[in-house]
Structure 1
Amino acid sequence: MSDSSSGRTRRKFTPEFKAEAVQMVRDSGGKIAQVARELNIYDSTLGNWVRRADEEEAGAPTAEERAEIRELKRELERVRRERDILGKAVAYFSASDPRNG
């Protein structure tokens, strides 16, 4: 795969390589730039791997989980609006029902 903006070929890294790189950062006291140079990868790439590993270990939701949470919140809001509308309709029709009167 080629990065069209820079003309460089995008490299793929195995999960094992990423885990080892993250561990190297942790063993070095958090020196991302130094480890990135040693592994010949971009600082930002390694920084992203470290951040993701930290989030996973902290139990932070993944990107997929965050997307699902957003969708569920939207659905909950829609269901609440429907409930409120139905409640108002019941109150309206109950008040105008001659049998209740």
Structure 2
Amino acid sequence: MPRTRTPYPADFRDQIIALARAGRSVESLAREFEPCAATIAGWIRQAGIDGGARDDSPTSLEREELARLRKENRQLRMERDILSKAAAWFARDELGSSRSSSS
């Protein structure tokens, strides 16, 4: 699903997270800045995971690696399917030409 807007810059997210850790509520940050409270809460949660304070989800690096591996897996499956179809086509073509030459 395509994103509806460009992602917020990393330094902006870091500033919002720092303000939240300094005691500002997520709701007040959401009112003052553009991101909704759920977005800010997600940033704070992910920062805790990446910082080692939480271990209930994969870190950002692990998420990036999973995305890269899933993309690579899709590519390899597509290539395998193409090669399988090409092999079947060549086998059928070879079978057809050997029958016509032996007749």
TM-score norm. by structure 1 comes to 0.49
TM-score norm. by structure 2 comes to 0.48
